[in-house]
Amino acid sequence: MPLTRAQPAPGPEAMETVAPAVDLVLGASACCLACVFTNPLEVVKTRLQLQGELQARGTYPRHYRGFLASVVAVVRADGLCGLQKGLAAGLLYQGLMNGVRFYCYSLACQAGLAQQPGGTVVAGAVAGALGAFVGSPAYLVKTQLQAQTVAAMAVGHQHPHQSVLDALGTIWRQQGLAGLWRGVGGAVPRVMVGSAAQLATFASAKAWVQEQQWLPEDSWLVALAGGMISSVAVVTVMTPFDVVSTRLYNQPVDGAGRVPSTVDICTDSHDGPER
């Protein structure tokens, strides 16, 4: 996400500061707006990451092959609306995670942490970790809803949730409060490294774009271009953690709220597409 606070420039002139509460509202709002457009990508990503879970290559059917083919597969199986599966949970996650993340990062900047050597990376990582923890239940539900599809195209375990509220209530009744934070151990490092990479590279990428003078210096396109360049670094470092996080969130649990054995998970994932 390209939205972040401008860092105070060294020297006698201090840039205008933004209140942490304003950062919270603006950051959460911008990320929720972006979520509407990126949610179809999340649906495709979730299914690609669940496909072949804990199975050797060549031993499972590949329903999803590459981005465009996967989009077509989702539309054929679930209709156009299938590309927006889990949107409500995604909006909730973005609001919670990024609201907390930008608020905490803004507080760190006001405290002067970002001006210390390596402070931007540390502040971004800590803010991201806190945001990921707060938003984890929403991401858990989002993952499980986005994995849902017709039996012939199913990958990973299929959770029978009907809505966000139904999913939260079911998890609460079956697994208790701790169940809502199941998988958070994979989400925290995921957002930590992504947030640190984003907040550490965005300002530099934006400054580089300005130096090239491709765009008017005060144009919003400068921030957009800087954010797009920064996103390359974010995706590169986040993807391995993202795969792990998705699979942890989508794991099935038994009646006692325990994750079954690896053999049972493999059998469940393999049998899904055959039904």
CA separation, residue 10 to residues 13, 14, 116, 211 (Å): 8, 8, 12, 17
**pLDDT per position as a tens digit, 37-84:** 999 999 999 999 999 988 888 888 999 998 999 999 999 999 999 999
**Is-contact 12 63, C-beta < 8 A?**
no
Residue 10 class from Cβ within 10 Å (0-12 exposed, 13-18 middle, 19+ buried)? exposed
Give the H or E element holding residue 62.
none
Among candidates 46, 40, 52, which has minimal Cα distance to 80? 40
**Is-contact 174 161, C-beta < 8 A?**
no
Give the model's pLDDT for residue 4.
47
User: Once rounded to an integer, what is the mean pLDDT over residues 91-103?
Assistant: 91
CA separation, residue 49 to residues 20, 84, 210, 242 (Å): 35, 17, 37, 8
Ramachandran area for residue 112 (φ above 0: left; ψ -120 to 50: alpha; else beta): left
**Is-contact 61 258, C-beta < 8 A?**
no
When pLDDT is cut at 50, 70 and 90, the band that residue 3 belongs to is: very low
**pLDDT per position as a tens digit, 4-35:** 444 444 443 344 567 877 877 887 888 889 89
User: Once rounded to an integer, what is the mean pLDDT over residues 244-258?
Assistant: 84
When pLDDT is cut at 50, 70 and 90, the band that residue 268 belongs to is: low
For 126, other C-beta atoms within 10 Å of its C-beta total 18
Q: How far apart are CA 17 and CA 182, in angstroms?
A: 37
Calculate what percentage of the chain has a pLDDT beyond 90: 46
> Residue 157 above 90 pLDDT?
yes
Give the model's pLDDT for residue 272.
46
Give the model's pLDDT for residue 8.
46
Give the model's pLDDT for residue 150.
95
User: Once rounded to an integer, what is the mean pLDDT over residues 141-164?
Assistant: 95
**pLDDT per position as a tens digit, 189-214:** 998 888 888 877 888 888 888 888 88
Average predicted confidence (pLDDT) for the chain: 85
The domains of the chain, with CATH numbers, are 20-262 (1.50.40.10)
CA separation, residue 2 to residues 27, 224, 227, 246 (Å): 10, 6, 4, 24
Q: Spell out a b/e string for 59-72, using b for 16 or more CB atoms within 10 Å of the CB, else e.
A: ebeebbeeeeebbe
